[in-house]
Chains A and B, each alone.
Chain A
Amino acid sequence: MMPIETSASVSGVLIGIIQFLVILVLAPLLTGIMRKIKAITQKRTGSSIFQTYFDIHKLMRKDEVVSEEASWIFRFSPWIIFSSTLVVALFIPIFVVYSPFGLGGDIILVIGLFGLSRFFLMLAGLDVSSAFGGIGVSREMMISSLIEPALFLLVFIVAVTYDATNIDTIVSHAAESSVLISASLLFSFFGFFIIVMAETGKIPFDNPATHLELTMVHEAMVLEFSGKSLALIELSQSIKQLLLISLLINFFIPWGISTSFSIAEMFVGLLAFLLKMISLGMLIAYIETKVAKWRLFRIPDLIFLSLASGLMGIIFLFI
């Protein structure tokens, strides 16, 4: 079945906007939930699950301190990072197989837009000329350049299995087949999960909760940001996490996602999505508690595991 081709209809646009808003609203909540679960598994009370909203709101109202070394790149990059993340949000279906600009929503374009935001984040890290920025950028360079081949192989498998690179089409084909139909998809799922962990800075890879130079990757790059800029970066990080998790959900476990605009189906879709999102969040938080942060030069091993599962998936795809 094709995705719903009613891009011009009023209800379509409305649903699209609602999905977009759902992403915006849910993203900090997911971060809060994951932090809470982590706290509970560590026998702490933890802050409220809504704490991320308060943090972002607080940051928005704060004055900014900008380094005297910083150029326009530093000032501009939070905006580019945030906008490109939000553009991706328009392309990714959440609870109904229709996203407002789904026709342009190509998986390769999504990878490219994430690349754009990462590129400016890295430049901003170098721009302030602090050694912290450098340390973060140099680690991010290693991790992101190794992730790229793994990610492309996994996308390769998904795109060929569902015969499309358009995200909406992939998801609707996936929703039809309704089961993990092949070994290659299972490998792809496994590899993609590792990549989501890496891209969102979860524990074996990175630990955003600390500011220890031995472990920092993402936090080191954003150390010099403050006020509104930091709010944008934090928010886009949350949104990126939600987007990657919803890609994972809708590519590999799309059951329950609505394929029409009927209210009941969409309600089920939303509930199913929330359920899957929270359980994945719990799984990730559980892993984070179970595993220690890995030494930096062991991280490539984990990414190569993802790459290897991609290669296995490719073999299973063709035979």
Chain B
Amino acid sequence: MISMFEHIIPLFELVVVSYICGALFSLLFRKFGSGKPFFIPTIIGSIFLIVLSLKVIIDGSSLHFELAPDNVFSVNHFLIDGIAAFFLLLIGIVSLSVSIYSLGYIKEYIEDKHVTVFGFFFNTFILSMILLVSSNDVFSFIVFWELMSLTSFFLVIYNHENESNLKAGIIYLIMTNLGTALILASLLLLSSQSGSLSFESFRLSSDSNSAYVKNIVFILAFIGFGTKAGIVPLHVWLPYAHPSAPSNVSALMSAIMIKTAIYGLIRIIYDFSGVGSGVTDNHEFVWWGFLFVTIGAISSVVGVLYSVVEKDIKRALAYSSIENIGIIFIGLGLSIVFLSFDLIYLSAFAMLAAMYHLLNHAIFKSLLFMGAGAIIFRTHTANMEKLGGLVKGMPWTSLFFLVGVLSISGLPFFNGFVSEYLMMLSFLSSYHIPDILIAISVGFASAAFALTLGIVLATFVKIFGISFLSKPRTDIIYRIKEVPHTMLAGMGIVALICIILGLIPFIGITMITHAFNLQLPPNQTLFSFEPILSEFGASNNLSGLSLPIVLMIFVSILVATLGFLYVVGGRTKQRISETWGCGFGYFNERMQYTASSLSQPILHVFRNFYRPSLAIQSILYHSSNSYMKESVKIQISNKNIFEDLMYGPIISSVFKTYERTKKFQTGKINLYLLNVFVIIILLLVYVRLSP
């Protein structure tokens, strides 16, 4: 193990200090309502973080830090290796753009709320994620994991006047604590095997653990981290918590918080379980990968199906996060499956696809949540049925949002396309798998993946088309103004990264291969990119990714067409007129398609999944005449099969247990004393009788 204390500029300390400053300033400068003192240290800290993580990735050497040299557990040191640096880079980029955005966005809350509290939790939340990713022992990992969960809980219930937000908060708290318990169990099981709390000892003992222990550790970690990541069926908290939080927090939660769960899983699987280390037999891990692919495919389809029928922008985006986590899980699963058949390069390739998608999702989802926040900032609603026509009043916001929409839909020239391309190539290479049944199953999973992509396109056509295009559905939008420059700048940064990562995938690919090369020392070549060609067949190189050339062709065709059309067709005039309303001449915004009706055909096709129910309530002028209706109220509601069929029984049985235990809780002190007395007697008898 190489320890490096040679950092000349104490970057890591600067990062930590900046965020702590941000948190403290929020509490100290309560009088400054403008929000600047809270977010400027955050911005500085994120820039330091980006520099630090890029330095680690480029240098290719891990960094060790000790924040408090002398402490009780004597394991409190931090390690930033390639994997950690990659995740830190994500945190850096996202928190940079989100905190610039927050400078303007905080004005939404300044009038009637304590923004100081917000600033404190905001900074602590980001700091806890940074320290979580860089921690190198069970103790600090769990402490920062809990800190991250708690601070995000307080941010979720920041708008606590709204009752539904409190409900969202409590669901989040319960689910996240459930997850933490399982993660703790998994890590403690590892440490009982290695005899130390340090992650270093986990790495050393990874090969000596029995397969039995590894499987238990894996299951516990999979469920525990899976809860945080929001995989189906553990996703129930996510569509409540993400929309309840202020939009800048939703951006952080969706873009980076749920990714820390992926980070944990990668650590457990690739680092602490010795998968791919060459010592253990990899075949026993094939079911891990299979589980990942299955759960990932289910999550992506379920997530996107809920997303497409959603009317609330933020809830739709939250469901879409479930879908994207599903895609990342599929990628990780393929990587493990390939690895278990010793297809090392393909495994590396699938890992690259998963990590590229993770990077992309962090970037475009933060952009989309910030865009949704910009809409809420001006219109005070996230309900698509009340929006429309925002493109005229908010041209820049809509442009940035469009970039995000194009990216998430996986269209060429934007970053989502690259990762989906890599994912598809990973799927295609599944024919190398010698086990026929697994190969066929992976082939079937690719259909689920492609279905997801198809519906994602529909979802985001709906979100962008209904909220930004067409005629405004409420009057306020006619007078709407663009959001402040700081908010635009925050969105602009990530929008630019979307385009850069989409046009020059080389940057992202090199970064990921560099970052992940570090962590698997026995296979130094695992994440180097060249040998992939040999397993793909000679012709199939990555030249399909020469997207700048394709874009150049695209633009030149555009220009040529423009010229051709004017040469052939001559100059023509353009007349502005109203939309054709079947000749009736009276056209208003209520004649447009609504968000719900737009996705109705999809709802109909998958009606066994949604279980829609229609309730029509007519109010008649006179009870004798059922044809003369004063008004008709139609309510369409879908059944949430997970909440109703899975969580419903669990919750009701928990409440039944509460009802039973309530009998002991009479409030009479003598009864309590009796209980204590009886228990002491029983314990004494037990101690006496036991040998």
Contacts and interface: CB of A to CB of B under 8 A. Distances in A.
Interface of A: 2-3, 57, 60-69, 71-73, 79-80, 82-84, 86-87, 90, 101, 103-106, 108-109, 112-113, 115-116, 118-119, 122-123, 125-135, 137-139, 141-142, 144-153, 156, 159-160, 163-166, 169, 223-224, 227-228, 231-232, 296-297, 300, 307, 310-311, 314-315, 317-319
Given A310-B447, A314-B444, A122 B465 contact: yes
B568 interface: yes
Contacts of A90: 553
B561 A83 contact: yes
B278 interface: no
Contacts of A82: 557-558, 561
Contact of A141 (B587, B591, B598): B598
B389 A2 contact: no
A91 to B, nearest CB: 9
Contacts of A122: 461, 465
A138 B469 contact: no
7 A-B pairs with the lowest CB-CB distances in the bound complex, closest first: A134-B593, A148-B454, A106-B544, A60-B569, A126-B465, A152-B450, A145-B454
B597 interface: yes
Interface stretch (B196-204, B405-413, B645-653): B405-413
Contact of B572 (A2, A57, A62, A169): A62
Interface in B580-625: 580-581, 587, 589, 591-593, 597-602, 604-605
Contacts of A297: 601, 604-605
Given A108-B424, A149-B447, A131 B572 contact: no
A146 B450 CA distance: 9
B320 to A, nearest CB: 14
B579 A104 contact: no
Q: What's the dominant secondary structure at chain A's contact region? A: helix
B412 A116 contact: yes
Contacts of A60: 565, 568-569
Contacts of B466: 126
A79 B574 CA distance: 16
A129 B605 CA distance: 25
B470 interface: yes
A311 B443 CA distance: 8
A315 B462 CA distance: 35
A85 B577 CA distance: 29
Contacts of A113: 412
B439 to A, nearest CB: 5
Interface stretch (B507-515, B535-543, B675-683): B535-543
A146 B470 contact: no
A138 B466 CA distance: 12
Contacts of B599: 138, 141
A199 B16 CA distance: 55
Contact of A129 (B417, B421, B469): B469
A173 to B, nearest CB: 9
Interface string B442-464: 01101111110111011001101
Q: What's the dominant secondary structure at chain B's contact region? A: helix
A12 to B, nearest CB: 16
Given A73-B391, A138-B598, A297-B604, A79 B558 contact: yes
Contact of B461 (A83, A126, A307): A126
Interface of B: 388-389, 391-392, 402, 406, 409-413, 417, 421, 424-425, 427-428, 431, 436, 439-440, 443-444, 446-451, 453-455, 457-458, 461-462, 464-466, 469-471, 537, 539-540, 543-544, 546, 549-550, 553-555, 557-558, 561-562, 565, 568-570, 572-581, 587, 589, 591-593, 597-602, 604-605
Given A60-B565, A126-B466, A145 B428 contact: no
Contact of B601 (A72, A138, A163): A138
A314 B443 contact: yes
B469 A134 contact: no
21 contacts: A63-B574, A68-B577, A69-B470, A79-B558, A103-B543, A108-B425, A115-B409, A123-B465, A126-B461, A129-B471, A130-B587, A137-B598, A138-B601, A146-B451, A146-B605, A148-B455, A148-B457, A156-B428, A224-B580, A232-B565, A297-B604
Contacts of B605: 142, 146, 297, 300
B602 A142 contact: yes
B412 A112 contact: yes
A130 B540 contact: no
A131 B443 CA distance: 39
A221 B59 CA distance: 53
B568 to A, nearest CB: 5
B472 to A, nearest CB: 9
Contacts of B587: 130
Given A104-B550, A130-B580, A164 B537 contact: yes
B351 to A, nearest CB: 19
Nearest to B456: A145
Contacts of B402: 73
B411 A87 contact: no
Contact of B411 (A3, A86, A112, A132): A112
A228 B572 contact: yes
A64 B574 CA distance: 5
Given A115-B412, A134-B592, 16 more contacts: A61-B568, A90-B553, A108-B425, A112-B417, A115-B410, A116-B406, A129-B388, A129-B579, A137-B461, A141-B462, A149-B454, A165-B428, A166-B540, A300-B605, A310-B447, A311-B444
Contacts of A80: 558
B544 A166 contact: yes
A274 to B, nearest CB: 25
B540 A61 contact: no
A165 B425 contact: yes
B593 A156 contact: no
A163 B540 contact: yes
B451 A232 contact: no
A115 B411 contact: yes
A297 B605 CA distance: 7
A146 B457 CA distance: 11
Nearest to A168: B539
A61 B446 contact: no
* Most central of B388, B444, B449, B589 by chain A CB within 10 Å: B444
B572 A145 contact: no
Contacts of A87: 550, 553-554, 557
A163 B454 CA distance: 25
Contacts of B580: 67, 130, 132, 223-224
* Most central of A61, A62, A105, A134 by chain B CB within 10 Å: A134
A123 B469 contact: yes
Contacts of A315: 440
